[in-house]
Structure 1
Amino acid sequence: MTEREHEQLRVDLGAYVLGQLPAAETERLEEHLDDCASCTAELAELTPVAGALAALRGSPDRTAPDEPPADLGDRVAGAVGHAARDERRRGWARAAGVATVAAAVAVVAALGVQRLVAEDAPAVPTEAVGVVDRAPGVDATAALVAHTWGVEVKLHASGFAPGDRYRVAVLGTDGERYPAGEFVGTGAREMDCNLNSSVLRDRAAGFEVRDDTGRVVVTSTF
């Protein structure tokens, strides 16, 4: 057996542990494994990784927004199998077996984490606040989120002059103005801004938006 043929068999290990290697090639690889200690050792390293992939694919479905399709694991495994065979034909991927299995596990694991986060993350409570528009054409609504580090103003608006810069400040109960961020106007196009201030909720009395000239264009009282 030439070194090139040996490398091709090593590439097949990735598809083999995923159950994606055709029967004829599986038989050839298994015959080779009977006599090759290095490939047998590499197979032993790959098998636990493939087991992790199988566990992820077989885990109970969770109900979550934008849940990945049920056959995602099979599609990933199939794509990996095809990729491994392509690599074999090109003959340059020395470590394709490990790489393909690890990549498949990473993809499915990442989606699993995304599903868990989507389901388990608690909804953030928001507080509706009144908004007064003081500039012609400006239309704004807002909600407030109380955090342990301060307050967050969620501003939804349109009508701010496109390209102009606006500054937002939270008004404290002590009469001070506390910076909460800046944004650039988008004209008639609606926009959403998340603006943060270190003022705690019980010390926040409202917020205001000023243009570059210092003119107040939006105000709100909490």
Structure 2
Amino acid sequence: MSLERHRDVGAYALGVLDEAEAFHFEDHLMECPRCTSHVAEFGPVTRQLMLYRRATPRLVHPAVRPGPRLLDRLLGDVRAHRRARRRRTLFAVAATVVAAVAGPWLTLAAQGGSPEPPARIEATDARSGVWAQVTAEDAASGSRVELKVRDGAGPRTCRLVAVGHDGSEQTVTTWAVHRHEAGETTVEGSAALHPDQIDRYEVRAESGERLVVLDPP
């Protein structure tokens, strides 16, 4: 039954189905996007046949075949309709690609420019021998911070403190140094202060001793 309904597309578009067949075909159209598309493609043909019927003198027999010029126009309209649909599809795809590529840049432009690259500073304290590297990235809530540290004087618990220009202090992250652990430790944390609000970072032992100070440039 489905195959028969597919074959009724042209007859339905040209209006030659009887009332019952047209009713059943319209039920089929509700569930068949392909036939719906084909019916739309018959639109130009149907319009041209209507124009031909109106322009044909009544003395001409109904079975007279249209001349080659009318057939050429009909085929040309169908081809033009197909090309227009392809162009609309290509334009829609191109617009989607442009939006996907340009979207982040438009967002940055609306926010006032490109994001600041992460700031990275490092320092070694000559007295304690502790080396540290801080990478800070601006975020909506403040700063995202990555700390790399080498400290061979464990065991002890340490913390990274962000000191603001106003003297306020915030603990960014904490970690434990094990005995005889001279390798590099990486930890992450965050602060409510933005990078441009931070005066310096301090690595401190649990006792409060400052092990190394990192000053942004």
Report the TM range for the smaller structure's normalisation: 0.3 to 0.5
Q: Which has the higher contact order (CA 8 A, sep 6+)?
A: 1
Larger Rg: 2
Query: Structure 1-normalised TM-score?
Result: 0.40
